[in-house]
Chains A and B, each alone.
Chain A
């Protein structure tokens, strides 16, 4: 896995080393800034940003983590992602957050916010109700909830969020989305210039530092990648799919076995940036945010109808010319378990193999997981021949 060094890429990746209280987040707070946690892409970061606050994505650690303390509060039927988030919160590692915006996106996410608020007394918590259905009625309802968030942020932090600020934030976050789309386009190449694990590191850093600092770095990294002449090779091309995955180590493990991870279907990956707000224009910025979040571009597995999502996965597999999909089914993630059958067979009928891998959040490619992934990669590489 020898590759040419890309300076900006290394600089961004460095941000993750101090997770969760990253150096940029610390610097922000030391200057008197406030940080608002969220852990679901149905919270529009623009709304937090327009209030002059730092949106910070709460996740579990991107490596295996014992969650014994969280088990006491959330029981093992809650997925390990949610329990990992709460384990860090219980350990005081998210104490730097000044508020937390939760959603009703799934059972685990909703209960995490409620339990967090009940036992750890975060200064401000609000749960945003996110409809599961994609239609105008649901978008309007969701827009109403965003209005409540706006009001609550204004009251709690004594700030004013006006339309002008919102439009500026939307523009800034759309810039990130456009840059990631550009980066993902580069991954379509026969010999892409960047590993999937590196991309995951870039995505992780995006939600852990001020966006004004991040975008120029990402732009620089993309330019450097273009100029570097890096051309990666692998035995086969793979897409990684899951509900949530920010574990760069896992992807690195897959890549060490000879596969090239060229794209993904995770909410911390392609689904995070896929649909630009600019494709959902309206006169009202909150409506734009609602339309984007409940758009048909690349929906979450929870979304109804499931057809938009299935079509996106099939199209993505085709466009990125993947030979196989590693579907990481995190135990107790009901939305993903119940969504997978909706597209798995269809993908296989098109000649794309799917490895249904039952794992816990933060798992590494070792032991039985390694054996299964290795066999899958070998099988795909033989098919490619």
Chain B
């Protein structure tokens, strides 16, 4: 299973490809500051890791939802690997090669593509070798909790598992999580030979607190009529939060994003040219089919006015004297955790968002390899119908792997759903 040769040709190609995409986006029309920053920061992260590798300095790979503030405090580059490897695979159009490499190790297609992808990329030797890997269970995701064991084996690097408890509301949970962070710091110190800079960590957390405030503002603004946020923006923001939590660049991004959205909302302008449908988006749209979101907006007039998975973040007050405990408390309030945690909490969250946004219907982007989501697809539909009175379309897609769901078929299903909403709305209007 161990990889003996690392070849960064593919990695470097991704940097070039991203630069071209950014240039293309900027040359073909007006690009909002937030979007430009997104591409810039994505490229910057690739470069930071590449530079560390070239200079023989330590850097880390970490899984989605591991607090990036820890690495900022340590002063070491670090990269979130699930989505980055997904982007690499899409940029290189290397799905077959990557998933084939994972399969050769025994990681089959029933495993979520977000975890199969890094396994495949590392098995190909396409990533620089980190000083260590930090991963977590993202509450109760089996794939997240275990895939890094294989990553560690493939690259022969030490791993640290951050065990997040389910009972986030309890002091026991906070105590446990704080302890887990303490051990994570010890791991990072041991792997780098450096000491945590606690002042730097506090600064990072203070920045993160500001980021959260902006995300909460955006969450409210997104519900304005017409909707001032583009559908793609939510995925971008989510990635920035995972990758730039605690960094000034991340704060600059969220500020730019908020300013754009607020400006549009203040002017009563929408991001979608001809807003006809105001829908709720559940879980996360397929990251390999972002053009589907463009199609929804431009061809169908769909605005995604509620995206609780990305934006419904709880408030956060940090205690400067207890940075790790503060981090433990905040990470319980990240909205996406609820999807992977207790079903009741997730259902409460989406019901609230549906009510506040006044969404006409919901699109549940159901990642067909996700067991937490799969088991909830019926109850999500039933709950939204019963408590909010709106219909839900469960869209079977895959997060990163384009093979299980054809774009044509998905579009047909969505079109049919939109038609049924129109008929329903017309019926209501004529009855009134």
Contact = CB atoms under 8 A, between A and B. Distances in A.
Nearest to B110: A332
A73 B374 CA distance: 9
A121 to B, nearest CB: 14
Contacts of A337: 106-108, 110-111
Interface in B113-150: 115, 137, 140-143, 145-147, 149-150
Nearest to A327: B106
B167 A145 contact: yes
Contact of B150 (A79, A108, A301, A342): A342
Contacts of B374: 74-78
Given A111-B372, A342-B153, A144 B163 contact: no
B141 A107 contact: yes
B33 to A, nearest CB: 39
Given A75-B375, A341-B1, A356 B166 contact: no
A329 B176 CA distance: 33
Interface stretch (A10-18, A208-216, A302-310): A302-310
B156 to A, nearest CB: 14
B366 to A, nearest CB: 8
B432 to A, nearest CB: 34
A138 B176 CA distance: 7
B149 A334 contact: no
A93 to B, nearest CB: 20
Nearest to B379: A118
Contacts, number: 139
Contacts of A106: 140, 142
Contacts of A340: 106
Given A114-B342, A302-B146, A337-B110, A133 B163 contact: yes
Interface in B54-113: 105-108, 110-112
Given A77-B371, A107-B142, A338-B107, A306 B376 contact: no
Interface stretch (A1-9, A124-132, A258-266): A124-132
B102 to A, nearest CB: 10
Q: Which of A78, A129, A329, A338 has most chain B Cβ within 10 Å?
A: A338
A115 B371 CA distance: 13
Nearest to A77: B374
A334 B371 contact: yes
A73 B378 contact: yes
A141 interface: yes
Nearest to A83: B375
Interface residues of A, number: 50
Given A137-B179, A334-B143, A337-B108, A131 B163 contact: yes
A107 B180 CA distance: 22
A77 B163 contact: no
A142 to B, nearest CB: 9
Nearest to A128: B166
Interface residues of B, number: 48
B402 interface: no
A77 B1 CA distance: 27
Contacts of A107: 140-142, 371-372, 375
Given A129-B165, A132-B137, A334 B142 contact: yes
Contacts of A131: 163, 165, 176
B108 A127 contact: no
A339 interface: yes
A77 B106 contact: no
B247 interface: no
B192 interface: no
A110 B108 CA distance: 23
Interface in B168-199: 170, 172-173, 175-176, 179-180
A345 B145 contact: no
Contacts of B153: 341-342
Contacts of A237: none
Interface string A295-334: 0000001101110000000000000000000000101101
Interface of A: 72-79, 104, 106-108, 110-112, 114-115, 118-119, 127, 129, 131-133, 137-138, 140-141, 144-145, 301-302, 304-306, 329, 331-332, 334-335, 337-342, 344-345, 356, 358
Per CB-CB distance, the 10 closest pairs between chain A and chain B, nearest first, are A111-B375, A77-B374, A75-B374, A334-B142, A107-B371, A338-B146, A129-B166, A133-B163, A114-B343, A341-B106
Given A72-B378, A334-B146, 15 more contacts: A78-B374, A106-B140, A108-B375, A127-B342, A131-B165, A132-B161, A141-B165, A302-B145, A334-B112, A334-B142, A338-B149, A338-B150, A339-B146, A340-B106, A358-B108
